[in-house]
């Protein structure tokens, strides 16, 4: 599972805000259900709920969260980018 840090980094890069409250909402069931938490709040209905309550940009953040959770190749590539960005920021 991608780290919250990686979710926030990608969202901030693409939407100029990390919308961390959206990721927190999506992953809240993790505390109770562990890895099987993705059976909850990891679907189109959740994105539509966020769209209705929060608007377009938070809904895009929710969609990005799901893309990152489910696309293993993208996750791997973004983790490499995250490593590079953090290395650059330490200079």
What is the reported pLDDT for 22? 94
Residue with tokens 């993705």: 38
| Amino acid 1: pLDDT | 62
The whole-number pLDDT of residue 46 equals 94
Distance CA 9, CA 51 (A): 21
Maximum alpha-carbon separation in the chain: 43
Domain ranges of the chain: 4-89
**pTM for the whole structure:** 0.76
The string of pLDDT tens digits covering residues 2-57 is: 778 888 888 998 999 999 999 999 988 888 888 778 788 888 999 999 999 999 99
**Residue with structure tokens 């190749």?**
73
d(CA 78, CA 68): 9
pLDDT at 41: 86
User: Is 69 a residue whose pLDDT tops 80?
Assistant: yes
């Amino acid at each position: 599972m991608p780290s919250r840090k990686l979710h926030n980094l990608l969202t901030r890069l693409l939407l100029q805000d990390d919308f961390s409250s959206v990721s927190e909402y999506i992953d809240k069931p993790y505390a109770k259900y562990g890895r099987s938490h993705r059976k909850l709040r990891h679907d189109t209905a959740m994105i539509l709920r966020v769209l209705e309550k929060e608007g377009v940009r938070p809904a895009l953040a929710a969609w990005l969260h799901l893309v990152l959770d489910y696309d293993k190749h993208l996750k791997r590539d973004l983790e490499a980018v995250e490593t590079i960005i953090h290395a650059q920021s330490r200079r």
